[in-house]
Structure 1
Amino acid sequence: MDDFAKLAEYVGFTNALEVGAFVPTRHTDTYPFITPTGTELAGKSVIITGASKGIGRATASRLVKAGCSKIAIAARTGLDKVAEELKLEAQQLGLDPPTILPVQVDVTSDESVKAAAQTVEDAFGGKIDILINNAGYLPKLVRIGEADPSEWWKGFEVNLKGTFLCAHYFLPLLLRSDTKIVINLTSIGANLLTIGGASYQASRFTNCRITEFLARDYEEEGLIAISVHPGGVKTDMGDNLPEVMHFSLTDTADLPGDTIVWLTKERREWLNGRYVSSPWDMQELEGKKEEIVERDLFKFRMTV
Structure 2
Amino acid sequence: MASTNQQQRIILITGANKGIGFEVVKKLIEQPFSNSKDIILLGSRDIKRGEDALKQLGSPPNVHLLQLDTSSKESIATATNEIKQKYGGHLDVIINNAGIVPRDNTIQAARETQATNYHGVKMLNEHLIPLLREHGRVVNVASSIGPMALHCFSKDLQEKYTSETLTKEQLDLLVEEFLSAYESNNVEKIGYRPDLPYLAYGVSKVALIALTRIEARQYSGAQNIFIYSVCPGYCATDLNNKADGARPAALGADSILYVVDTPNHELENGGFYLDGKKEPQICMDEAKVQFFIQTSKKHLESK
With structure 1 as the length reference, what TM-score do the two structures score? 0.69
For 2:263 and 2:46, the matched residues in 1 are separated by: 32
What's the counterpart of residue 226 of structure 2?
A: 224
* Match of residue 123, structure 2, among 161, 165, 172: 165
For 1:44 and 1:116, the matched residues in 2 are separated by: 18
* Structure 1 contact 208–275 (Cα < 8 Å) conserved: yes
* Structure 2 contact 15–99 (Cα < 8 Å) conserved: yes
* Match of residue 124, structure 1, among 87, 91, 94: 87
For 1:210 and 1:110, the matched residues in 2 are separated by: 18
What's the counterpart of residue 64 of structure 1?
A: 29
Residue 125 of structure 1 aligns to a residue whose secondary structure is coil
Q: What letter corresponds to residue 110 of structure 2 in structure 1?
A: W
* Match of residue 109, structure 2, among 151, 162, 166: 151
User: What is the 5 A alignment of 1:1-304?
Assistant: 43-66=8-31, 67=34, 69-78=38-47, 79-88=50-59, 98-140=61-103, 147-174=105-132, 177-193=133-149, 195-221=196-222, 222-239=224-241, 246=243, 249-269=245-265, 270-278=267-275, 282=276, 285=277, 298-299=280-281
* Structure 2 contact 21–97 (Cα < 8 Å) conserved: yes
My pick for the range that moved more, 72-81 or 48-57, is: 72-81
The CA deviation at 1:195 is: 2.1
The CA deviation at 1:98 is: 4.7
Change (3 A) 1:253 1:234: same
* Structure 1 contact 136–158 (Cα < 8 Å) conserved: yes
Q: Which has the higher contact order (CA 8 A, sep 6+)?
A: 1
For 2:270 and 2:89, the matched residues in 1 are separated by: 26
For 2:84 and 2:221, the matched residues in 1 are separated by: 23
The CA deviation at 1:237 is: 0.5
The CA deviation at 1:40 is: 6.5
Residue ranges of structure 2 left out of the alignment (5+ in a row): 150-194, 285-303
The CA deviation at 1:126 is: 1.9
Q: What letter corresponds to residue 187 of structure 1 in structure 2?
A: S
Q: What letter corresponds to residue 250 of structure 1 in structure 2?
A: A
* Structure 2 contact 147–283 (Cα < 8 Å) conserved: no
For 2:6 and 2:52, the matched residues in 1 are separated by: 23
What's the counterpart of residue 20 of structure 1?
A: none
Residue 91 of structure 2 aligns to a residue whose secondary structure is coil
Q: What letter corresponds to residue 178 of structure 1 in structure 2?
A: E
* Structure 2 contact 226–264 (Cα < 8 Å) conserved: yes
Cα deviation digits, residues 48-68 of structure 1 (max 9, x gap): 100111111111111111335
Residue 216 of structure 2 aligns to a residue whose secondary structure is helix
* Structure 2 contact 134–225 (Cα < 8 Å) conserved: no
For 1:87 and 1:220, the matched residues in 2 are separated by: 40
Change (3 A) 1:41 1:77: farther
Change (3 A) 1:114 1:300: farther
The CA deviation at 1:121 is: 2.3
For 2:206 and 2:45, the matched residues in 1 are separated by: 24
What's the counterpart of residue 179 of structure 2?
A: none
With structure 2 as the length reference, what TM-score do the two structures score? 0.69
For 2:263 and 2:139, the matched residues in 1 are separated by: 12
For 2:200 and 2:106, the matched residues in 1 are separated by: 11
For 1:42 and 1:253, the matched residues in 2 are separated by: 28
The CA deviation at 1:301 is: 10
Residue 51 of structure 1 aligns to a residue whose secondary structure is coil
Residue 129 of structure 1 aligns to a residue whose secondary structure is strand
Runs of 4+ in 1 over 6 A off after TM superposition: none
The CA deviation at 1:81 is: 2.5
For 2:262 and 2:219, the matched residues in 1 are separated by: 18
* Structure 1 contact 51–60 (Cα < 8 Å) conserved: yes
For 1:231 and 1:131, the matched residues in 2 are separated by: 19
The CA deviation at 1:272 is: 1.0
For 1:86 and 1:120, the matched residues in 2 are separated by: 22
Q: What letter corresponds to residue 120 of structure 2 in structure 1?
A: G
Residue ranges of structure 1 left out of the alignment (5+ in a row): 1-32, 89-96, 241-245, 286-291
